[in-house]
């Protein structure tokens, strides 16, 4: 069998390199030109508090436990963390997109001093943040570790 000439070998090598580059770029090209882009989550730069901060928190009711402000220093610090929570305001479009992708929500009842009814906070857990509804009914994104917000 006859060996390919040097020119033919160089041409084969160049074509192989181009095919290799094409294989490496294929996922990006498919993502860019063939798949529909995901709806972007737009976030406002406004930071909003979770609570109105007029009356202090007297008691919090979670699904598995209750925390009262006058029982221990640890509980008081825990309630203070919640009372000072702030988050980035989310747009309505972002909330609609996120709600379809997140697991079922949980809720927390917060009892304030000098108020008869509790404030109920709906909470969704996203991979990188918590989506919570604040006292004004706006949805905010709060970045915090689970141990910071909940007891296990």
User: Is 121 in the same domain as 62?
Assistant: yes
Asked if 3 and 55 sit in the same domain, the reply is: no
Distance CA 146, CA 149 (A): 5
Low-confidence ranges of the chain (pLDDT < 50): none
Domain of residue 13, residue span:
1-35
- pLDDT recorded at residue 16: 96
Please indicate, yes or no, whether residues 13 and 80 belong to a single structural domain of this protein: no
61 and 15 both lie in a single domain: no
Residues 56 and 4 in one domain: no
Are residues 7 and 77 located together in one domain of the fold? Answer: no
Write the pLDDT tens digit of every residue in 62-81: 888 889 888 888 888 888 98
Provide φ and ψ at 130, rounded to 5°. Answer: -110, 135
Pair 1, 48 in one domain: no
Containing 17, the helix (H) or strand (E) segment is helix 6-33
- Give the predicted TM-score (pTM) of the model: 0.64
Q: Give the model's pLDDT for residue 152.
A: 67
One domain, residues 65 and 98: yes
Q: Do 53 and 23 lie in a common domain?
A: no
- Indicate if 71 and 134 belong to the same structural domain: yes
What local confidence, expressed as pLDDT, does residue 64 receive?
Answer: 87
Looking at the 3D structure of the chain, how many domains does it have? 2
- Cα separation of 133 and 70, whole Å? 26
CB 69 within 8 A of CB 76: yes
Does 21 share its domain with 82? no
pLDDT at 42: 58
For residues 71 and 117, membership in a common domain is answered with: yes
């Amino acid at each position: 069998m006859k060996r390919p000439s040097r020119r033919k070998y160089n041409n084969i090598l160049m074509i192989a390199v181009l095919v290799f580059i094409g294989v490496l770029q294929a996922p990006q090209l498919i993502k860019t030109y063939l798949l529909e882009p995901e709806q972007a989550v737009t976030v406002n730069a406004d930071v909003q508090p979770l609570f109105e901060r007029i009356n202090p928190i007297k008691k919090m009711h979670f699904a598995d436990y209750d925390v009262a402000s006058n029982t221990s220093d640890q509980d008081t610090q825990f309630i203070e963390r919640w009372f000072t929570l702030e988050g980035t305001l989310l747009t309505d479009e972002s909330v609609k997109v996120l709600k379809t992708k997140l697991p079922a929500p949980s809720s927390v009842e917060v009892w304030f001093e000098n108020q008869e009814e509790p404030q109920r906070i709906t909470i969704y857990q996203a991979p990188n943040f918590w989506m919570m509804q604040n006292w004004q009914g706006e949805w905010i994104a709060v970045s915090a570790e689970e141990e910071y917000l909940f007891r296990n």
